[in-house]
Amino acid sequence: MTDTVGPDPQYDEFADEFLDHARDSLYNAHYDRPACLALLGDVSGRTVLDAACGPGLYAEELTSRGADVIGFDQSPRMVELCGQRVASGRFRVHDLADRLDWLADDSVDLVLLALALEYIDDRTRALKELRRVLRPHGALVLSRQHPTGDWIRHGGNYFDTRVIDEVWSRGWRVRYWLAPLEQTCEELHEAGFLIERLLEPRPTAEAAEIDHDRYERLVREPTGFLAIRAVPDPRHRQ
């Protein structure tokens, strides 16, 4: 690959602001989190790896549901915020691009990768690491921006995988990969996963009270996120 995204120190700069935003926002609290938590299912007594854990909103909810949570993020400030929210969790600074050399094979029951896949340059390599640490009957739940929504926003060739560099409404500069759904499915296959479920979620009813226009759009158009539950393929050898 010629383009790269790589670690971005700016996540430290807007970590606190992101926490304030994502705690109750339509897209995070009433759209992405409900979908991913539903796909994770019953987490009580299970060890969950929260990959790219951010400020700990998922970790907090998973812990409240009885999970033993391990997490990491490339941003030291995100990890600090996560630790403050979930004192019982084990969190560290780590980049998804690097090997999870601090986790043994078959050591976690579930992996959550929420809205982070797009920021990885070598996604297949990262997914293989997540596959390695999963127990044979475990599952990976990931969410990503819906590729159809990306294509509507950015135009061009839907099948052209490329890096997008843009500034979001709060002045947050982000770089991420725009890729078709087919590529995400192929990357999961190459990493040794079988797709068990794919959701194009709808926002909760409460989302209509936050922003009625966006709520109406998300219940009728594929312009937000999608979520996938994938399980280790027993035919695949590491």
Rounded Cα–Cα distance for residues 113 and 94 (Å)? 14
Rounded Cα–Cα distance for residues 37 and 153 (Å)? 27
In a structure prediction context, what are the per-residue pLDDT tens digits for the chain, which is 238 residues long?
345 544 454 567 778 888 888 899 999 999 999 999 999 999 999 999 999 999 999 999 999 999 999 999 999 999 999 999 999 999 999 999 999 999 999 999 999 999 999 999 999 999 999 999 999 999 999 999 999 998 998 999 999 999 988 876 667 777 889 999 999 999 999 999 999 999 999 999 999 999 999 999 999 999 999 999 999 998 876 5
All structural domains of the chain, each given as residue ranges with its CATH number in brackets, are 10-145+181-232 (3.40.50.150)
Q: Which residue(s) pair with 31 in the sheet?
A: none
Rounded Cα–Cα distance for residues 3 and 67 (Å)? 37
- Cβ(95)–Cβ(33) under 8 Å? no
Cα torsion through 176, 178, 184, 187, rounded to 10: -60
* pLDDT score of 7: 47
